Amino acid sequence: FKKAGKKTETRTEGGSLCIRIFSKKLTGFLSNLVSITKRPDSQRNIKSLVNYENWSPDFKIGFISGLLDSDGYVHYGKKGKHYGAVIKTNNPSLAKQIQEILFDLKVVAEIRIHEFQGTYPTDSLCYDIYIPSKEMWKFCHTLLSIKHSEHHQ
């Protein structure tokens, strides 16, 4: 982004590297893909995908790949074979939208709901979009995920 002439800031939050990009053009592009609604009772926002049914298959693969890297986990056995993946969210409608995108890619995933077990107390539920190993093999050769490619060449 810096090479493209955009102002950026980086900071570390816990174990994550956060990059802030100042770009009206990028913001405009993203606002056509994601709607953000302010919660009246919280500092957190509710995000919802816009027109995702019409995204191209390549864009959907890229989106799922990014989710695996940011909010997901790929399970591996001792021999390096993957045994499925999980994408986590606390937004039930976003979980359903992710499941529908996977279905459009011919990948069957289930949503598992459980209480959040994190570093702070909350009444929020956690929605895990679980992709079984058999389903991962259907599209893993097209994924652009770093977490996936680290163990799967």
pLDDT at 14: 79
C-beta atoms surrounding 143 within 10 Å: 20
DSSP string, 10-54: EEEETTEEEEEEE-HHHHHHHHTTEEEEE-TT-SSEEEEESSGGG
| Residue that the structure tokens 């045994």 belong to | 83
Higher-scoring residue by pLDDT: 145, 80: 145
Q: Residue 111's Cα: distance from chain center in Å?
A: 14
Over the stretch 100-134, which tens digit does the pLDDT of each residue have? 999 999 999 999 998 877 676 777 789 999 999 88
**Helices 57-71 & 92-104 angle (0-180, nearest 10):** 130
In this model, does residue 99 exceed pLDDT 70?
yes
Q: How confident is the model at residue 152 (pLDDT cuts 50, 70, 90)?
A: low
Over the stretch 14-56, which tens digit does the pLDDT of each residue have? 777 788 888 888 888 888 899 988 877 777 788 889 999 999 9
Over the stretch 46-87, which tens digit does the pLDDT of each residue have? 888 999 999 999 999 999 999 998 888 887 766 666 678 999
Residues 102, 86: Cα–Cα separation, whole Å: 12
pLDDT at 62: 92
- Give the residue among 68, 82, 49 at the shortest CA–CA distance from 129: 68
Average pLDDT score over residue span 134-149: 82
